[in-house]
Structure 1
Amino acid sequence: MPDLPRLSYCAALARRHDPDRYAAALFAPPARRETLFALLAFNHEVAKTAEVVSEPLLGQIRLQWWEEALEALFAGRARGHEVLEALAPAIAAGGLPRAAFARILEARRGDLEPGPPPDLDSLERYCDDSSAALLELELAALGAEDEGARLAARQLGIAWALVGLLRALPFHARLKRLYLPGDHLAAAGVAPEQVFAFAPSEALSGVVMRIAGRAAERLAEAEPAVRRLPRQARAPLLIAAPARRYLRRLAAAGYDPFDPAVAADLPQRAWLMAWALATRRC
Protein backbone atom coordinates (compact mmCIF):
# COMPACT_ATOMS: atom_id res chain seq x y z
CA MET A 1 0.00 0.00 0.00
CA PRO A 2 1.41 3.41 -0.93
CA ASP A 3 1.62 6.17 1.67
CA LEU A 4 -1.43 8.42 1.68
CA PRO A 5 -0.53 11.92 0.50
CA ARG A 6 -1.45 15.15 2.20
CA LEU A 7 -4.57 16.03 0.27
CA SER A 8 -4.59 18.98 -2.09
CA TYR A 9 -7.81 20.54 -3.38
CA CYS A 10 -7.84 18.25 -6.43
CA ALA A 11 -6.92 15.15 -4.44
CA ALA A 12 -9.75 15.76 -1.97
CA LEU A 13 -12.19 16.31 -4.82
CA ALA A 14 -11.08 13.09 -6.52
CA ARG A 15 -11.24 11.05 -3.33
CA ARG A 16 -14.78 12.26 -2.61
CA HIS A 17 -16.26 11.94 -6.09
CA ASP A 18 -14.07 9.37 -7.90
CA PRO A 19 -12.74 7.01 -5.20
CA ASP A 20 -11.71 4.17 -7.53
CA ARG A 21 -9.61 6.33 -9.84
CA TYR A 22 -8.27 8.22 -6.82
CA ALA A 23 -7.12 4.96 -5.20
CA ALA A 24 -5.45 3.91 -8.46
CA ALA A 25 -3.60 7.23 -8.67
CA LEU A 26 -2.02 6.57 -5.27
CA PHE A 27 0.03 3.79 -6.88
CA ALA A 28 1.66 6.26 -9.30
CA PRO A 29 5.11 7.72 -8.62
CA PRO A 30 4.68 10.44 -5.94
CA ALA A 31 5.94 13.20 -8.22
CA ARG A 32 3.18 12.48 -10.75
CA ARG A 33 0.20 12.02 -8.43
CA GLU A 34 -0.88 15.65 -8.29
CA THR A 35 -1.18 15.76 -12.07
CA LEU A 36 -3.40 12.66 -11.95
CA PHE A 37 -5.53 14.23 -9.21
CA ALA A 38 -5.86 17.39 -11.30
CA LEU A 39 -7.04 15.34 -14.30
CA LEU A 40 -9.58 13.52 -12.15
CA ALA A 41 -10.81 16.82 -10.73
CA PHE A 42 -11.14 18.28 -14.24
CA ASN A 43 -13.08 15.22 -15.33
CA HIS A 44 -15.44 15.57 -12.37
CA GLU A 45 -16.04 19.25 -13.06
CA VAL A 46 -17.10 18.67 -16.66
CA ALA A 47 -18.84 15.31 -16.08
CA LYS A 48 -21.27 16.81 -13.57
CA THR A 49 -22.48 19.44 -16.05
CA ALA A 50 -25.74 17.73 -16.97
CA GLU A 51 -26.52 17.26 -13.27
CA VAL A 52 -25.99 20.85 -12.14
CA VAL A 53 -27.75 22.84 -14.87
CA SER A 54 -31.47 23.38 -15.26
CA GLU A 55 -31.47 23.39 -19.07
CA PRO A 56 -29.15 22.24 -21.89
CA LEU A 57 -28.21 25.78 -22.97
CA LEU A 58 -26.72 26.48 -19.56
CA GLY A 59 -24.75 23.26 -19.82
CA GLN A 60 -23.39 24.31 -23.20
CA ILE A 61 -22.31 27.64 -21.73
CA ARG A 62 -20.59 25.90 -18.84
CA LEU A 63 -18.69 23.54 -21.15
CA GLN A 64 -17.77 26.44 -23.43
CA TRP A 65 -16.19 28.14 -20.41
CA TRP A 66 -14.04 25.06 -19.78
CA GLU A 67 -13.11 24.84 -23.45
CA GLU A 68 -11.97 28.47 -23.52
CA ALA A 69 -10.17 28.05 -20.19
CA LEU A 70 -8.21 25.10 -21.59
CA GLU A 71 -7.36 27.06 -24.74
CA ALA A 72 -5.98 29.83 -22.55
CA LEU A 73 -4.08 27.29 -20.46
CA PHE A 74 -2.42 25.77 -23.52
CA ALA A 75 -1.50 29.31 -24.54
CA GLY A 76 0.19 29.84 -21.17
CA ARG A 77 -2.60 31.77 -19.42
CA ALA A 78 -4.29 30.11 -16.43
CA ARG A 79 -7.67 31.37 -15.26
CA GLY A 80 -8.26 31.62 -11.52
CA HIS A 81 -9.53 28.12 -10.82
CA GLU A 82 -7.93 25.50 -8.55
CA VAL A 83 -8.19 22.73 -11.15
CA LEU A 84 -6.73 24.81 -13.96
CA GLU A 85 -3.88 25.99 -11.75
CA ALA A 86 -3.12 22.37 -10.85
CA LEU A 87 -3.11 21.34 -14.53
CA ALA A 88 -0.92 24.24 -15.64
CA PRO A 89 2.53 22.70 -14.92
CA ALA A 90 1.83 19.48 -16.85
CA ILE A 91 0.32 21.36 -19.79
CA ALA A 92 3.22 23.80 -19.83
CA ALA A 93 5.61 20.85 -19.94
CA GLY A 94 3.85 19.55 -23.05
CA GLY A 95 2.97 16.22 -21.52
CA LEU A 96 -0.81 16.19 -22.00
CA PRO A 97 -2.47 15.76 -25.44
CA ARG A 98 -4.85 18.61 -26.16
CA ALA A 99 -7.07 16.41 -28.36
CA ALA A 100 -7.97 14.18 -25.41
CA PHE A 101 -9.36 17.17 -23.49
CA ALA A 102 -11.44 18.10 -26.54
CA ARG A 103 -12.86 14.58 -26.75
CA ILE A 104 -13.92 14.68 -23.11
CA LEU A 105 -15.69 18.01 -23.54
CA GLU A 106 -17.47 16.78 -26.66
CA ALA A 107 -18.66 13.66 -24.84
CA ARG A 108 -20.07 15.82 -22.05
CA ARG A 109 -21.96 17.89 -24.58
CA GLY A 110 -23.60 14.60 -25.55
CA ASP A 111 -24.84 14.25 -21.97
CA LEU A 112 -27.06 17.28 -22.60
CA GLU A 113 -28.88 15.56 -25.48
CA PRO A 114 -32.16 13.74 -24.71
CA GLY A 115 -32.62 10.03 -25.27
CA PRO A 116 -30.35 7.01 -24.98
CA PRO A 117 -27.54 6.19 -27.43
CA PRO A 118 -29.07 4.54 -30.51
CA ASP A 119 -26.88 1.43 -30.44
CA LEU A 120 -23.93 -0.24 -28.72
CA ASP A 121 -21.41 1.27 -31.14
CA SER A 122 -22.63 4.76 -30.23
CA LEU A 123 -22.44 3.94 -26.54
CA GLU A 124 -18.88 2.67 -26.89
CA ARG A 125 -17.86 5.80 -28.81
CA TYR A 126 -19.20 7.86 -25.91
CA CYS A 127 -17.23 5.70 -23.46
CA ASP A 128 -14.14 6.08 -25.63
CA ASP A 129 -14.41 9.86 -25.79
CA SER A 130 -15.05 10.22 -22.06
CA SER A 131 -13.47 7.47 -19.97
CA ALA A 132 -10.80 6.27 -22.41
CA ALA A 133 -9.72 9.83 -23.21
CA LEU A 134 -9.22 10.47 -19.49
CA LEU A 135 -7.11 7.31 -19.19
CA GLU A 136 -5.06 8.45 -22.19
CA LEU A 137 -4.35 11.71 -20.38
CA GLU A 138 -3.39 9.89 -17.19
CA LEU A 139 -1.03 7.58 -19.04
CA ALA A 140 0.51 10.52 -20.89
CA ALA A 141 1.12 12.19 -17.53
CA LEU A 142 3.12 9.08 -16.59
CA GLY A 143 5.13 9.16 -19.80
CA ALA A 144 3.21 6.43 -21.66
CA GLU A 145 2.12 7.94 -24.98
CA ASP A 146 2.75 5.25 -27.59
CA GLU A 147 0.22 3.20 -29.53
CA GLY A 148 0.26 0.44 -26.93
CA ALA A 149 -0.69 2.90 -24.20
CA ARG A 150 -3.51 4.30 -26.30
CA LEU A 151 -4.80 0.79 -26.99
CA ALA A 152 -4.78 -0.08 -23.28
CA ALA A 153 -6.54 3.19 -22.48
CA ARG A 154 -9.20 2.60 -25.12
CA GLN A 155 -10.06 -0.99 -24.18
CA LEU A 156 -9.99 -0.49 -20.44
CA GLY A 157 -11.56 2.95 -20.60
CA ILE A 158 -14.57 1.64 -22.51
CA ALA A 159 -14.91 -1.30 -20.11
CA TRP A 160 -14.74 0.97 -17.07
CA ALA A 161 -17.34 3.36 -18.45
CA LEU A 162 -19.75 0.56 -19.36
CA VAL A 163 -19.51 -0.84 -15.84
CA GLY A 164 -19.90 2.60 -14.32
CA LEU A 165 -22.97 3.43 -16.39
CA LEU A 166 -24.64 0.17 -15.35
CA ARG A 167 -23.90 0.85 -11.69
CA ALA A 168 -25.17 4.43 -12.03
CA LEU A 169 -28.37 3.45 -13.83
CA PRO A 170 -30.65 4.22 -10.83
CA PHE A 171 -28.97 7.61 -10.35
CA HIS A 172 -29.41 8.50 -14.00
CA ALA A 173 -32.98 7.18 -13.99
CA ARG A 174 -33.89 9.74 -11.32
CA LEU A 175 -32.64 12.43 -13.71
CA LYS A 176 -34.55 10.87 -16.62
CA ARG A 177 -31.28 10.04 -18.37
CA LEU A 178 -30.58 6.65 -19.92
CA TYR A 179 -27.37 5.21 -21.35
CA LEU A 180 -28.53 1.73 -22.37
CA PRO A 181 -28.53 1.33 -26.19
CA GLY A 182 -31.88 2.19 -27.71
CA ASP A 183 -31.86 -0.74 -30.12
CA HIS A 184 -31.18 -3.20 -27.28
CA LEU A 185 -34.05 -1.74 -25.26
CA ALA A 186 -36.42 -1.86 -28.23
CA ALA A 187 -35.50 -5.47 -29.07
CA ALA A 188 -36.15 -6.46 -25.44
CA GLY A 189 -39.43 -4.55 -25.31
CA VAL A 190 -38.21 -2.22 -22.55
CA ALA A 191 -39.50 1.37 -22.69
CA PRO A 192 -37.40 4.15 -21.12
CA GLU A 193 -40.39 4.98 -18.92
CA GLN A 194 -40.09 1.55 -17.29
CA VAL A 195 -36.50 2.27 -16.35
CA PHE A 196 -37.40 5.73 -15.04
CA ALA A 197 -40.10 4.07 -12.91
CA PHE A 198 -37.45 1.77 -11.36
CA ALA A 199 -39.32 -1.27 -12.66
CA PRO A 200 -37.02 -4.33 -12.73
CA SER A 201 -37.78 -7.05 -15.26
CA GLU A 202 -36.16 -10.05 -16.89
CA ALA A 203 -36.07 -8.10 -20.14
CA LEU A 204 -34.17 -5.20 -18.58
CA SER A 205 -31.81 -7.60 -16.80
CA GLY A 206 -31.12 -9.22 -20.17
CA VAL A 207 -30.06 -5.89 -21.64
CA VAL A 208 -27.85 -5.18 -18.62
CA MET A 209 -26.31 -8.66 -18.90
CA ARG A 210 -25.36 -8.07 -22.53
CA ILE A 211 -23.73 -4.72 -21.76
CA ALA A 212 -21.90 -6.26 -18.80
CA GLY A 213 -20.72 -9.04 -21.10
CA ARG A 214 -19.32 -6.48 -23.50
CA ALA A 215 -17.51 -4.78 -20.62
CA ALA A 216 -15.97 -8.12 -19.62
CA GLU A 217 -14.81 -8.64 -23.21
CA ARG A 218 -13.16 -5.22 -23.25
CA LEU A 219 -11.42 -5.98 -19.95
CA ALA A 220 -10.03 -9.21 -21.37
CA GLU A 221 -8.94 -7.47 -24.57
CA ALA A 222 -7.09 -4.82 -22.54
CA GLU A 223 -4.93 -7.24 -20.53
CA PRO A 224 -2.16 -7.90 -23.12
CA ALA A 225 -1.68 -4.18 -23.82
CA VAL A 226 -1.69 -3.38 -20.09
CA ARG A 227 0.98 -5.98 -19.33
CA ARG A 228 3.29 -4.51 -21.97
CA LEU A 229 3.35 -1.12 -20.25
CA PRO A 230 6.12 -0.31 -17.78
CA ARG A 231 5.13 -0.85 -14.15
CA GLN A 232 5.43 2.86 -13.29
CA ALA A 233 2.77 3.70 -15.89
CA ARG A 234 0.16 1.16 -14.83
CA ALA A 235 -1.38 2.95 -11.87
CA PRO A 236 -4.44 4.43 -13.69
CA LEU A 237 -5.15 1.01 -15.22
CA LEU A 238 -5.58 -0.60 -11.81
CA ILE A 239 -9.27 0.33 -12.04
CA ALA A 240 -9.58 -3.00 -13.87
CA ALA A 241 -9.51 -4.74 -10.47
CA PRO A 242 -12.64 -3.07 -9.04
CA ALA A 243 -14.28 -3.30 -12.47
CA ARG A 244 -14.06 -7.09 -12.27
CA ARG A 245 -15.49 -7.06 -8.75
CA TYR A 246 -18.39 -4.82 -9.85
CA LEU A 247 -19.17 -7.18 -12.72
CA ARG A 248 -19.29 -10.09 -10.28
CA ARG A 249 -21.71 -8.13 -8.12
CA LEU A 250 -23.93 -7.52 -11.13
CA ALA A 251 -23.95 -11.23 -11.92
CA ALA A 252 -24.73 -12.13 -8.30
CA ALA A 253 -27.67 -9.69 -8.41
CA GLY A 254 -29.08 -11.41 -11.49
CA TYR A 255 -28.19 -8.28 -13.50
CA ASP A 256 -30.89 -6.31 -11.72
CA PRO A 257 -29.49 -2.76 -11.91
CA PHE A 258 -31.74 -1.66 -9.05
CA ASP A 259 -30.26 -4.12 -6.53
CA PRO A 260 -28.56 -1.93 -3.88
CA ALA A 261 -25.50 -4.21 -3.88
CA VAL A 262 -24.67 -3.17 -7.45
CA ALA A 263 -23.92 0.46 -6.59
CA ALA A 264 -22.53 -0.20 -3.10
CA ASP A 265 -19.12 1.15 -2.15
CA LEU A 266 -16.02 -1.06 -2.36
CA PRO A 267 -13.93 -0.43 0.78
CA GLN A 268 -11.26 -2.97 -0.23
CA ARG A 269 -10.54 -1.33 -3.59
CA ALA A 270 -6.95 -0.44 -2.71
CA TRP A 271 -6.16 -3.99 -1.64
CA LEU A 272 -7.62 -5.35 -4.86
CA MET A 273 -5.43 -2.96 -6.82
CA ALA A 274 -2.32 -3.85 -4.83
CA TRP A 275 -2.95 -7.56 -5.46
CA ALA A 276 -3.51 -6.93 -9.17
CA LEU A 277 -0.24 -5.01 -9.41
CA ALA A 278 1.69 -7.64 -7.46
CA THR A 279 0.35 -10.50 -9.60
CA ARG A 280 0.78 -8.55 -12.86
CA ARG A 281 -2.94 -8.74 -13.56
CA CYS A 282 -2.55 -5.03 -14.26
Structure 2
Amino acid sequence: MMLEKTSGEKMAEDLFASDPIPSLEEALDAVYRKIHSEKVHLIDLQGRHRKLEADRAESQRCLETIESESLEENEKLDVITDFRSYVEDLGGFHDAKYDQTDNALNLLDNIEKNVCSAHDERRLKALRTDYEQEPEDPVEARVAQARSKWISGRSAEDGYATSDGEYSAAEDEGGDQTWRALAKDKRKFLKAAHLQLMADVSDDFSSVRSICREFQKVRTACPKLYKQAFLGASLEEAVAIPVRYQLLFWDPFNLSGTESDDDEGDDEDEGHRPRIVTTAEEVMDME
Protein backbone atom coordinates (compact mmCIF):
# COMPACT_ATOMS: atom_id res chain seq x y z
CA MET A 1 0.00 0.00 0.00
CA MET A 2 1.58 3.30 -1.14
CA LEU A 3 1.44 6.36 1.04
CA GLU A 4 0.02 9.45 -0.57
CA LYS A 5 2.50 12.41 -0.84
CA THR A 6 1.73 15.55 0.95
CA SER A 7 1.21 18.82 -0.85
CA GLY A 8 4.56 20.13 0.43
CA GLU A 9 6.46 17.18 -0.97
CA LYS A 10 4.72 17.65 -4.29
CA MET A 11 5.73 21.32 -4.43
CA ALA A 12 9.40 20.47 -3.69
CA GLU A 13 9.46 17.85 -6.43
CA ASP A 14 7.95 20.32 -8.91
CA LEU A 15 10.52 23.02 -7.97
CA PHE A 16 13.56 20.81 -8.41
CA ALA A 17 12.13 19.38 -11.60
CA SER A 18 11.72 22.84 -13.24
CA ASP A 19 15.02 24.37 -11.92
CA PRO A 20 17.47 21.65 -11.16
CA ILE A 21 20.47 22.40 -8.93
CA PRO A 22 23.50 23.23 -11.19
CA SER A 23 26.74 21.46 -10.88
CA LEU A 24 29.74 23.07 -9.14
CA GLU A 25 31.45 23.79 -12.46
CA GLU A 26 28.38 25.50 -13.83
CA ALA A 27 27.99 27.56 -10.66
CA LEU A 28 31.63 28.73 -10.75
CA ASP A 29 31.34 29.60 -14.45
CA ALA A 30 28.28 31.73 -13.71
CA VAL A 31 30.15 33.52 -10.94
CA TYR A 32 33.13 34.24 -13.26
CA ARG A 33 30.79 35.63 -15.93
CA LYS A 34 29.18 37.89 -13.35
CA ILE A 35 32.59 39.12 -12.12
CA HIS A 36 33.73 39.85 -15.69
CA SER A 37 30.53 41.77 -16.38
CA GLU A 38 31.02 43.86 -13.26
CA LYS A 39 34.66 44.57 -14.22
CA VAL A 40 33.59 45.80 -17.65
CA HIS A 41 30.94 47.97 -16.05
CA LEU A 42 33.50 49.34 -13.55
CA ILE A 43 35.99 50.17 -16.32
CA ASP A 44 33.24 52.01 -18.18
CA LEU A 45 32.34 53.97 -15.05
CA GLN A 46 36.02 54.86 -14.46
CA GLY A 47 36.35 56.11 -18.05
CA ARG A 48 33.26 58.24 -17.68
CA HIS A 49 34.59 59.54 -14.37
CA ARG A 50 37.92 60.53 -15.92
CA LYS A 51 36.10 62.32 -18.75
CA LEU A 52 33.94 64.19 -16.26
CA GLU A 53 37.04 65.17 -14.27
CA ALA A 54 38.72 66.46 -17.45
CA ASP A 55 35.58 68.43 -18.34
CA ARG A 56 35.47 69.81 -14.81
CA ALA A 57 39.15 70.91 -15.00
CA GLU A 58 38.56 72.54 -18.39
CA SER A 59 35.52 74.34 -17.04
CA GLN A 60 37.58 75.56 -14.08
CA ARG A 61 40.28 76.86 -16.42
CA CYS A 62 37.68 78.63 -18.53
CA LEU A 63 36.15 80.15 -15.41
CA GLU A 64 39.56 81.38 -14.22
CA THR A 65 40.26 82.82 -17.68
CA ILE A 66 36.93 84.62 -17.69
CA GLU A 67 37.57 85.98 -14.20
CA SER A 68 41.06 87.14 -15.23
CA GLU A 69 39.73 88.81 -18.39
CA SER A 70 36.94 90.39 -16.39
CA LEU A 71 39.44 91.76 -13.88
CA GLU A 72 41.63 93.07 -16.72
CA GLU A 73 38.65 94.72 -18.40
CA ASN A 74 37.65 96.30 -15.10
CA GLU A 75 41.17 97.67 -14.70
CA LYS A 76 41.06 99.06 -18.24
CA LEU A 77 37.70 100.60 -17.50
CA ASP A 78 39.12 102.22 -14.36
CA VAL A 79 42.08 103.60 -16.34
CA ILE A 80 39.81 104.97 -19.07
CA THR A 81 37.42 106.47 -16.53
CA ASP A 82 40.27 108.14 -14.63
CA PHE A 83 41.81 109.39 -17.88
CA ARG A 84 38.49 110.83 -19.02
CA SER A 85 38.20 112.74 -15.76
CA TYR A 86 41.83 113.84 -16.12
CA VAL A 87 41.26 115.10 -19.67
CA GLU A 88 38.23 117.10 -18.54
CA ASP A 89 40.35 118.75 -15.83
CA LEU A 90 43.16 119.28 -18.34
CA GLY A 91 40.71 121.03 -20.66
CA GLY A 92 39.70 123.35 -17.83
CA PHE A 93 43.38 124.01 -17.15
CA HIS A 94 43.91 124.99 -20.79
CA ASP A 95 40.86 127.24 -20.80
CA ALA A 96 42.09 129.05 -17.69
CA LYS A 97 45.81 129.33 -18.42
CA TYR A 98 46.47 129.15 -22.17
CA ASP A 99 45.82 132.83 -22.92
CA GLN A 100 47.66 133.90 -19.77
CA THR A 101 50.71 131.89 -20.83
CA ASP A 102 50.62 133.44 -24.30
CA ASN A 103 50.37 136.90 -22.78
CA ALA A 104 53.36 136.23 -20.55
CA LEU A 105 55.42 134.98 -23.50
CA ASN A 106 54.48 137.98 -25.64
CA LEU A 107 55.25 140.39 -22.82
CA LEU A 108 58.63 138.81 -22.22
CA ASP A 109 59.36 138.84 -25.95
CA ASN A 110 58.50 142.54 -26.25
CA ILE A 111 60.59 143.42 -23.22
CA GLU A 112 63.58 141.52 -24.60
CA LYS A 113 63.25 143.14 -28.01
CA ASN A 114 62.92 146.64 -26.59
CA VAL A 115 65.82 146.30 -24.17
CA CYS A 116 68.11 144.66 -26.72
CA SER A 117 67.21 147.29 -29.30
CA ALA A 118 67.92 150.09 -26.81
CA HIS A 119 71.19 148.45 -25.83
CA ASP A 120 72.29 148.11 -29.46
CA GLU A 121 71.39 151.73 -30.14
CA ARG A 122 73.53 152.85 -27.21
CA ARG A 123 76.46 150.80 -28.45
CA LEU A 124 75.99 152.12 -31.98
CA LYS A 125 75.90 155.68 -30.66
CA ALA A 126 79.07 155.07 -28.68
CA LEU A 127 80.83 153.68 -31.75
CA ARG A 128 79.76 156.64 -33.85
CA THR A 129 81.03 159.02 -31.18
CA ASP A 130 84.39 157.24 -31.12
CA TYR A 131 84.53 157.35 -34.89
CA GLU A 132 83.80 161.08 -35.00
CA GLN A 133 86.45 161.78 -32.37
CA GLU A 134 89.21 160.01 -34.32
CA PRO A 135 88.70 160.75 -38.02
CA GLU A 136 92.43 160.88 -38.81
CA ASP A 137 92.99 157.13 -38.37
CA PRO A 138 91.55 155.45 -41.51
CA VAL A 139 92.12 151.87 -40.28
CA GLU A 140 90.35 152.38 -36.97
CA ALA A 141 87.60 154.29 -38.75
CA ARG A 142 86.98 151.35 -41.08
CA VAL A 143 86.89 148.96 -38.11
CA ALA A 144 84.42 151.18 -36.31
CA GLN A 145 82.31 151.44 -39.44
CA ALA A 146 82.28 147.66 -39.85
CA ARG A 147 81.27 147.18 -36.23
CA SER A 148 78.56 149.78 -36.64
CA LYS A 149 77.21 148.01 -39.70
CA TRP A 150 77.23 144.66 -37.91
CA ILE A 151 75.34 146.01 -34.91
CA SER A 152 72.81 147.75 -37.12
CA GLY A 153 72.06 144.47 -38.87
CA ARG A 154 71.57 142.48 -35.71
CA SER A 155 68.08 141.33 -34.93
CA ALA A 156 66.63 142.30 -31.62
CA GLU A 157 65.62 138.65 -31.25
CA ASP A 158 69.27 137.71 -30.70
CA GLY A 159 68.98 138.95 -27.15
CA TYR A 160 67.42 136.97 -24.31
CA ALA A 161 67.22 139.54 -21.57
CA THR A 162 64.20 141.08 -19.94
CA SER A 163 63.46 144.27 -18.08
CA ASP A 164 60.66 146.46 -16.86
CA GLY A 165 62.66 149.64 -16.32
CA GLU A 166 65.34 151.97 -17.70
CA TYR A 167 68.99 151.01 -17.45
CA SER A 168 72.24 152.90 -17.59
CA ALA A 169 74.56 152.46 -20.53
CA ALA A 170 77.57 152.67 -18.26
CA GLU A 171 79.94 149.72 -18.24
CA ASP A 172 82.28 148.74 -15.45
CA GLU A 173 85.03 146.22 -15.03
CA GLY A 174 82.53 143.49 -14.19
CA GLY A 175 80.66 143.77 -17.49
CA ASP A 176 77.71 145.60 -18.98
CA GLN A 177 75.51 147.03 -16.24
CA THR A 178 72.46 146.61 -18.48
CA TRP A 179 72.61 142.81 -18.45
CA ARG A 180 73.08 142.72 -14.69
CA ALA A 181 69.92 144.76 -14.23
CA LEU A 182 68.11 142.65 -16.81
CA ALA A 183 69.04 139.47 -14.97
CA LYS A 184 67.66 140.86 -11.73
CA ASP A 185 64.40 142.01 -13.27
CA LYS A 186 63.93 138.82 -15.24
CA ARG A 187 63.98 136.85 -12.02
CA LYS A 188 61.31 139.16 -10.64
CA PHE A 189 59.25 138.74 -13.80
CA LEU A 190 59.51 134.94 -13.67
CA LYS A 191 58.41 134.84 -10.05
CA ALA A 192 55.39 136.95 -10.90
CA ALA A 193 54.63 134.72 -13.90
CA HIS A 194 54.85 131.63 -11.70
CA LEU A 195 52.40 133.09 -9.19
CA GLN A 196 49.95 133.91 -11.96
CA LEU A 197 50.31 130.75 -14.05
CA MET A 198 51.37 127.77 -11.95
CA ALA A 199 51.22 128.57 -8.25
CA ASP A 200 47.63 127.32 -7.97
CA VAL A 201 47.99 124.41 -10.44
CA SER A 202 48.11 120.77 -9.36
CA ASP A 203 51.31 118.82 -9.95
CA ASP A 204 49.31 116.58 -12.32
CA PHE A 205 49.23 119.40 -14.90
CA SER A 206 52.26 121.57 -14.16
CA SER A 207 54.92 119.61 -16.06
CA VAL A 208 55.37 117.67 -19.28
CA ARG A 209 56.42 114.60 -17.30
CA SER A 210 53.21 114.48 -15.24
CA ILE A 211 50.98 114.79 -18.33
CA CYS A 212 52.97 112.16 -20.22
CA ARG A 213 52.62 109.85 -17.23
CA GLU A 214 48.81 109.95 -17.51
CA PHE A 215 48.96 109.26 -21.25
CA GLN A 216 51.39 106.41 -20.60
CA LYS A 217 48.85 104.71 -18.32
CA VAL A 218 46.34 104.54 -21.18
CA ARG A 219 49.01 103.50 -23.66
CA THR A 220 50.05 100.60 -21.41
CA ALA A 221 46.55 99.45 -20.41
CA CYS A 222 44.76 100.03 -23.74
CA PRO A 223 47.29 100.23 -26.61
CA LYS A 224 44.63 99.61 -29.26
CA LEU A 225 42.39 102.36 -27.93
CA TYR A 226 45.42 104.65 -27.61
CA LYS A 227 46.07 104.33 -31.35
CA GLN A 228 42.43 104.45 -32.41
CA ALA A 229 41.80 107.63 -30.41
CA PHE A 230 45.00 109.26 -31.78
CA LEU A 231 46.05 110.16 -28.24
CA GLY A 232 49.69 110.27 -29.30
CA ALA A 233 48.86 112.95 -31.87
CA SER A 234 46.97 115.00 -29.28
CA LEU A 235 49.82 114.89 -26.77
CA GLU A 236 51.51 117.93 -28.34
CA GLU A 237 48.44 120.01 -27.61
CA ALA A 238 48.09 118.51 -24.13
CA VAL A 239 51.58 119.63 -23.06
CA ALA A 240 51.36 123.04 -24.75
CA ILE A 241 51.01 125.08 -21.56
CA PRO A 242 53.85 123.40 -19.58
CA VAL A 243 56.13 123.74 -22.62
CA ARG A 244 55.25 127.42 -23.06
CA TYR A 245 55.74 127.97 -19.36
CA GLN A 246 59.19 126.37 -19.62
CA LEU A 247 60.04 128.70 -22.49
CA LEU A 248 59.71 131.61 -20.08
CA PHE A 249 62.68 130.17 -18.21
CA TRP A 250 64.71 129.32 -21.31
CA ASP A 251 67.94 131.23 -20.79
CA PRO A 252 70.69 130.01 -23.16
CA PHE A 253 72.99 132.92 -22.25
CA ASN A 254 72.44 132.35 -18.52
CA LEU A 255 71.46 135.96 -18.01
CA SER A 256 69.32 135.07 -15.02
CA GLY A 257 72.39 133.59 -13.38
CA THR A 258 74.28 136.89 -13.51
CA GLU A 259 75.21 137.95 -10.01
CA SER A 260 73.98 141.25 -8.70
CA ASP A 261 74.55 143.16 -5.49
CA ASP A 262 70.80 143.28 -4.85
CA ASP A 263 70.06 139.59 -5.47
CA GLU A 264 69.86 138.60 -1.82
CA GLY A 265 66.97 136.26 -1.15
CA ASP A 266 66.46 135.33 -4.80
CA ASP A 267 67.54 131.75 -4.17
CA GLU A 268 64.70 131.20 -1.73
CA ASP A 269 62.13 130.91 -4.51
CA GLU A 270 64.07 128.76 -6.97
CA GLY A 271 61.59 125.90 -6.54
CA HIS A 272 59.22 127.34 -9.13
CA ARG A 273 61.70 126.85 -11.97
CA PRO A 274 60.62 123.96 -14.23
CA ARG A 275 62.94 121.24 -15.45
CA ILE A 276 63.26 122.13 -19.14
CA VAL A 277 65.43 119.29 -20.43
CA THR A 278 63.43 116.04 -21.07
CA THR A 279 60.58 117.49 -23.11
CA ALA A 280 61.74 116.23 -26.52
CA GLU A 281 62.48 112.61 -25.61
CA GLU A 282 59.47 112.22 -23.36
CA VAL A 283 56.97 113.60 -25.85
CA MET A 284 58.40 111.82 -28.91
CA ASP A 285 58.41 108.50 -27.03
CA MET A 286 54.67 108.84 -26.36
CA GLU A 287 53.62 109.28 -29.99
Work out whether the TM-score is over 0.5.
no
Bigger-Rg structure (1/2): 2
TM-score, L = length of structure 1: 0.25
